[in-house]
Amino acid sequence: MHIILFGPPGAGKGTQADNLVKDLNIIKISTGDLLRTEIEKGSNLGSEIKEIIDKGQLVPNNIISNLIKLKLKSQNYRKRIIFDGYPRNILQAKDLDDQLLKNKQNISLVISLHVNEKVVIKRILGRQVCSKCGLTFNEFSNLSTKNNHNCDKFFLKKRSDDNEKTIKKRFVVYNQETFPILNYYRKQNLLHEIDGMKEIGSIYKEIRAIIRPIEGWLYIAYSYK
């Protein structure tokens, strides 16, 4: 019953996944967040990862595969994950299928957010992430306010890879390595495509409508965990 939220950098995957986590019995796995947690630990692996992320490249598949394996082992994640920013190339997509099959699980839906690259670059430059609770805001389009955020503004930070040079490289990598995965899921009839340029609330409504047929299953998966 897992869901993949797919799209280029800045498409709004993290924001939409956070909304779903608030409203449904699902858990978000963002490989970007897992990698940043590893960087914060200050390990050798963390500094290797930071160098790659700051260049806008993809972190090697074996590192990602190990992170995912650890999560899939946990009963808590059984059959109710929303993947954000993963898989990012065809080998990762096949590795995920293999790992899920071993655990008698599967992907139910892939939701792809389509956005215009120029607009999204501006969006990314305005992105602010709360270093305390992890929520994402935007100084141009989705301000942190008392109504949507409990932490102090002091905790809002820019990501080190959210600069113009790295963003451009991330888009090249997305077009070459990540975008082709869409066909892999299209052939399996799992793909739902959405206009990601609309307002956050109306995109969320569309996502909820797509997920609705499996919402009941998410609750069942949760109660039998």
Residues near ligand AMP (CB under 6 A) are 9, 31-32, 35, 52-53, 56-59, 64, 85-86, 88, 92, 161, 170
Measured from each CB, the residue nearest to ligand AMP is 32
Q: How far is the CB of 145 from ligand AMP (least distance, A)?
A: 23
Which one, 87 or 194, has the nearer CB to ligand AMP?
Answer: 87
Q: How far is CA 129 from the centre of its chain?
A: 14
Q: Which of 140, 171, 147 is nearest to 11 (CA)?
A: 171
Q: How far is the CB of 51 from ligand AMP (least distance, A)?
A: 10
DSSP annotation of 141: T
DSSP annotation of 206: H
If one counts every other C-beta atom within 10 angstroms of the C-beta of residue 40, the result is 11
Q: How far is the CB of 34 from ligand AMP (least distance, A)?
A: 8
Which one, 130 or 221, has the nearer CB to ligand AMP?
Answer: 130
CA–CA gap between residue 207 and residue 19 (Å, rounded)? 10
How many alpha carbons fall within 13 Å on the CB side of residue 174? 18
Which one, 175 or 202, has the nearer CB to ligand AMP?
Answer: 175
Q: How far is the CB of 84 from ligand AMP (least distance, A)?
A: 7
Q: How far is the CB of 29 from ligand AMP (least distance, A)?
A: 10
Q: Which of 159, 170, 164 is nearest to 136 (CA)?
A: 159
Which one, 12 or 105, has the nearer CB to ligand AMP?
Answer: 12
Which one, 64 or 120, has the nearer CB to ligand AMP?
Answer: 64
Which one, 9 or 203, has the nearer CB to ligand AMP?
Answer: 9
Q: How far is the CB of 200 from ligand AMP (least distance, A)?
A: 17
Sign of CA dihedral 18, 114, 71, 48: negative
Q: How far is the CB of 57 from ligand AMP (least distance, A)?
A: 6
If one counts every other C-beta atom within 10 angstroms of the C-beta of residue 62, the result is 9
The residue assigned the tokens 């990314």 is: 124
Which one, 20 or 53, has the nearer CB to ligand AMP?
Answer: 53
Strand order in the sheet with 27-30: 27-30, 81-84, 2-6, 107-114, 191-195
- Under 8 Å CB-to-CB from 165, ≥6 apart: which residues? 56
